[in-house]
Amino acid sequence: MASSQKTYALVGCGGRGLYMYITAIVKNFQKTARLVGLCDVNQGRMDYCNRSLQTNIPTFTDFDQMMKQARPDVVIVTTKDSMHHEFILRAFEHGCDAISEKPMTIDDGKCRAILAAEKKTGRKVTVTFNYRFAPYVTKIRELIAQGAIGRVLSVDFDYKLNRSHGADYFRRWHRRKENSGGLLVHKSTHHFDLVNWWIGQEPVEVFALGSRQFYGPTRKERGERCLTCDHKKTCEFYFDINAPVDAGTMIFEFGELYAKVEQYDGYFRDRCVFSDDINIEDTMNLTVRYSGGTQMSYSLNAHCTYEGWKIAFNGTEGRLEAAEGHGGPFVPSDTQNIVVHRWNKPSETIPVTAELYDHGGGDHRLLNMLFDGPRPDPLGHMATSHAGAMSILTGIAANHSIAEGRPIEISRLLRG
């Protein structure tokens, strides 16, 4: 082993584990990183990871056994969201730092446990907010930090998931709140993190409304899963689990990764989006108050006809508008614009070169930082557990607010 190599063990060998981290370490970061163990409840999925990359990384279904045998420097956590805290804490116990996919965890109790364990053990968790690294959102951070619109007083943020990507959350483990925290944690952690980062403030109080109006038992023509459904020929939500998915930079072989290894864990990745079993919301609206006095209105809808987001920041010196399309009519071809309107001055349009794959160009920049660092980080792209906590606590507060019908203070969740 080259002495400059750090060793990594990864737990959670699904889509994100394989197509983001395992593939990158094996193919692009051999000089600085080496995988010494893979862990998952599904042995078949780990075997496919090794087979598809022609590697022979040791595999384990028991995390502690992996830690004892493989003795990694760092643990990468890419399991379903509700298990992140478990493996972060256990990595600390084994004397390792952790890298966790977003969201850091799904509720306030688990969040407090991670923050307390960091203090107690002196270990740390890095939360991988890839979206921060996309050039378009980085430019927004730069402009606001430079004072392009003065002090930010309010934010309007509208996020739309379409009936392909949005619907997919209602097929998989994400559809149960106890697995994902719902979309306000699982998905919005990205958006709330960006807002915290963009405006340099933290959330203080949250009020939310949320309902499930589109998915769930809203139609008669439904089944257990797409693979065996009687309505597959007519349902516009039919998902062929065996069809490879072209993700732009690589092909995702969901048939191999999920369908062909179901016998190991009974997990169906193509459950019906109209089933009774779904307990997350698909229609959500929030108002948020921040530490510097900024107010935000935010909406997330998971059943839109096209996908993307639109944001406006109103500041003491002007207004900044940005929008990104991920599918449907607004996918950018070569540039994405940010528009700054200043009081009594001509508006300015700032073009940013569009990157269509790789989460807006965020993934490979994040990977470089993680596995080929340390690199200069003047805008603070790398996120600690504190940023991880502040981003999920907005969504967690929103979940409490929806359940309790009143505004929730973030400090209450941090105190417990």
Ligand X SMILES: NC(=O)c1ccc[n+]([C@@H]2O[C@H](COP(=O)([O-])OP(=O)(O)OC[C@H]3O[C@@H](n4cnc5c(N)ncnc54)[C@H](O)[C@@H]3O)[C@@H](O)[C@H]2O)c1
Q: Are strands 251-252 and 245-246 parallel, antiparallel or unpaired?
A: antiparallel
Least separation in angstroms between residue 409's CB and ligand X is 26
In the bound state with ligand X, the residue whose beta carbon lies nearer, of 142 and 265, is 265
Q: Please give the radius of gyration of the chain, using alpha carbons only, rounded to the nearest integer.
A: 21
In the bound complex, what is the minimum distance in angstroms from residue 304's beta carbon to ligand X? 19
Query: What minimum distance in Å lies between the beta carbon of 215 and ligand X?
Result: 18
Token output for 55: 């590697």
Nearer to ligand X by Cβ, of 34 and 269: the residue is: 269
CB of 11 or CB of 398, closer to ligand X: 11
Q: Which residues are near ligand X by CB under 6 A?
A: 11-17, 39-42, 45, 78-81, 83, 101-102, 130, 173, 186, 265, 359
CA trace torsion 27, 28, 31, 32 (10° rounding) = -110
- Closest chain position to ligand X (CB): 14
Decide whether 135 or 407 has the Cβ nearer to ligand X.
Answer: 135
CB of 289 to ligand X, least distance (A): 27
In the complex, the smallest distance separating the C-beta of residue 410 from ligand X, rounded to whole angstroms, is 21
Q: Which is nearer to ligand X, 60 or 157 (CB)?
A: 60
Give the Cα separation of 231 and 268 in Å (integer): 17
Shortest distance (Å) from residue 361 CB to ligand X:
12
Residue closer to ligand X, measured from CB, 80 or 381: 80
